[in-house]
Structure 1
């Protein structure tokens, strides 16, 4: 089926649909780094389909520049990525560009989730003060414009759990208004809070999914969520997820697998045909941070969690000892990860590696694995940008199950 991808980010939702053989006609994304990542992934699929993957591997190894790499790719594949901020002013340009790309091809589905910071419960009091001017609150109306323009069979709208309780400037819950808006375009609509860990993702991550299916198809949206339950499965632990990755220290880069064999789940879903591991980059840390990390990991091993106000005075750098006391957090190696968020681009204190001998925060590749990106998925253009793209993504493994379920109910 042919779909368009709005508010694409680094491509977690998209990758899951690609794995289920959907044809992505175009992506619309405002961040340039994320657009470059999407172009690189489009290039990967072109090379894979034409038996030219050594070119991609050469790029990952740093043997050719991005410009040289893109030179091997026909322009129609790279031009699928539209670098636009979806807004009132840009909407006509975006639609014109999409129409140019798709021609007379029928669009079967629209996927995507607008930026979620406006709805998040974190920082809600601060965001409430600027509700009247915050355009992000009403991005769903632009999403609705695309539904009206292209009349697809289905859509998938993803956002944070906070949207369930969020109230607009009229102090009315926004979610019922969003659903009513989508219903007015001719869709049967339903929503559900999904925890990625229930679907095999090694991460406890709750997100709200709104699914709509065209009324004239005589199917109900709740059928999608009922069918998706078939794909529930237990997820592996962090220990198993990282088992085949190399031991390393803070500030190191090790783009080689260890000699340990991956567990079957990793081998089947994350390891790729090539044996080149990319972007296994660990953030450097100063001695104070590493001292704190050791304390946090040791406490975790004994079943305790150290709060910021419990640290020795010599290790504290903030005067605030009443709020945000869980600034340092270690992954539990015997469970799934706690929710990975974009803040990891600023520091890794909330994602400390559970192995005391390594004494560091997780690498870009380890974060990508938590989000179930394949090991050959490359994020442009810096370590910071890669962490941000990964933290904002939909876990690929969940996305793939969503895509598969949609195919089954539309048969």
Structure 2
């Protein structure tokens, strides 16, 4: 097992992908207390340092792990992306969160791991003409790292979701930078669909469900067999309660449909003036044989296609987690809103796993 730490770990999407592919996650950090509870619950063997990364030193980490600088195999992490997200209309480098990648670089300088992996949103490329991307590349080069960055499509690695992620990979051991080859798509494995991911989960009415419930059917796809390994029940499978107006709207939306299918008198006031080409995903009902749109920190139908393909309700935290490739044995802590946020902020586990395999092969 290679030695790894995860900074800005959140609920552990990156950690889980690396853990499944030959890495021992020795230490993790996040300032969010609910992420900490979820992470500790599901990764009990990992040292967890809570609190702001600005208050953590490389010396503290080395002391905790009884290591010297240069002995760590890999640091992974996703500095908060909200400052670069297209969903943040005030995004930019003026946002204090946009500079947190510098704290990551500070710890890389003190720890000198063999490999570094940084994940962020594609918007990092466009804010201030990609200044943050350039600063990360130049910062790692100054520390002696060969580094490259690429945009990866989650669906190309078996994720039932259209999600793009900017991935930086760097090493200081003289190896070429290799990004994972797509595994799914034309002339490869078939894409994983929404129905491949969630069709075996117990059916629910609007506002119904339980934090723990039994499986009611056998797995219906290879994806479901894999995701259920090590689990004997379903966690976090509760449908949020939609109000009467949203239930009225939903009755008009077919599978794969959206706000365009809702009679104009039922549309929110602001959307009655929208052009047919605008807001393509809003009030969308997922298509069974398609991909989900990007899982956000709120599965709010006003912002995307988050209605269940068959049932008149919003997808549950567990269904969102399935689309993010979290194994069913992983349980999310906190209020329903906190659970959705943890899932939405995560890196899809199978995308993380694809990157982990390339790093593992290089280190091996």
2: CA distance, partners of 1:401 / 1:318: 44
Q: CA deviation at 1:346?
A: 9.3
Does the alignment pair 1:183 with 2:141?
A: yes
2: CA distance, partners of 1:33 / 1:339: 22
Equivalent residue, structure 2, for 1:12: 13
Secondary structure of the structure 2 residue equivalent to 1:191: strand
TM-score when normalising by structure 2: 0.89
Contiguous gaps of at least 5 residues in structure 1: 47-76
1: CA distance, partners of 2:166 / 2:357: 18
In 1, are the aligned partners of 2:85 and 2:91 still within 8 Å (CA)?
no
In 1, are the aligned partners of 2:157 and 2:182 still within 8 Å (CA)?
no
| Per-residue Cα deviation, 1:252-305 (whole angstroms, up to 9, x for no partner) | 1152222243312220x2012342111111111122111112212x2x45xx53
1: CA distance, partners of 2:102 / 2:221: 44
Equivalent residue, structure 2, for 1:34: 35
Equivalent residue, structure 2, for 1:166: 127
Does the alignment pair 1:2 with 2:3?
A: yes
Equivalent residue, structure 2, for 1:362: 315
TM-score when normalising by structure 1: 0.80
In 1, are the aligned partners of 2:231 and 2:328 still within 8 Å (CA)?
no
Equivalent residue, structure 1, for 2:243: 286
2: CA distance, partners of 1:110 / 1:344: 30
Equivalent residue, structure 2, for 1:103: 66
Q: CA deviation at 1:306?
A: 2.6
Q: CA deviation at 1:316?
A: 3.8
The alignment of Structure 1 onto Structure 2 pairs a total of residues equal to 351
Higher helix share: 1
Equivalent residue, structure 2, for 1:407: 360
Does the alignment pair 1:119 with 2:75?
A: no
In 1, are the aligned partners of 2:62 and 2:111 still within 8 Å (CA)?
no
Equivalent residue, structure 1, for 2:116: 155
What is the RMSD computed on CA atoms of the aligned residues?
A: 2.3
Contiguous gaps of at least 5 residues in structure 2: none
Q: Which moved more, 1:323-332 or 1:102-111?
A: 323-332
Equivalent residue, structure 1, for 2:151: 193
Equivalent residue, structure 1, for 2:295: 340
Q: CA deviation at 1:362?
A: 0.4
In 2, are the aligned partners of 1:349 and 1:361 still within 8 Å (CA)?
no
Secondary structure of the structure 1 residue equivalent to 2:259: coil
1: CA distance, partners of 2:302 / 2:28: 29
Distance 1:185 1:346, change over 3 A: farther
Distance 1:284 1:347, change over 3 A: farther
| Per-residue Cα deviation, 1:174-195 (whole angstroms, up to 9, x for no partner) | 3222211111111000010000
Q: Which moved more, 1:316-325 or 1:158-167?
A: 316-325
Equivalent residue, structure 2, for 1:74: none
Equivalent residue, structure 2, for 1:53: none
2: CA distance, partners of 1:374 / 1:244: 14
2: CA distance, partners of 1:266 / 1:391: 20
1: CA distance, partners of 2:336 / 2:42: 17
Equivalent residue, structure 1, for 2:204: 248
2: CA distance, partners of 1:192 / 1:258: 41
Distance 1:230 1:118, change over 3 A: closer
2: CA distance, partners of 1:260 / 1:348: 33
Equivalent residue, structure 2, for 1:55: none
2: CA distance, partners of 1:243 / 1:346: 20
Aligned partner of 2:215 among 257, 268, 276? 257
The structure with the larger Rg is: 1
Aligned partner of 2:107 among 143, 146, 161? 146
Q: CA deviation at 1:100?
A: 3.0
Distance 1:346 1:84, change over 3 A: farther
Does the alignment pair 1:204 with 2:158?
A: no
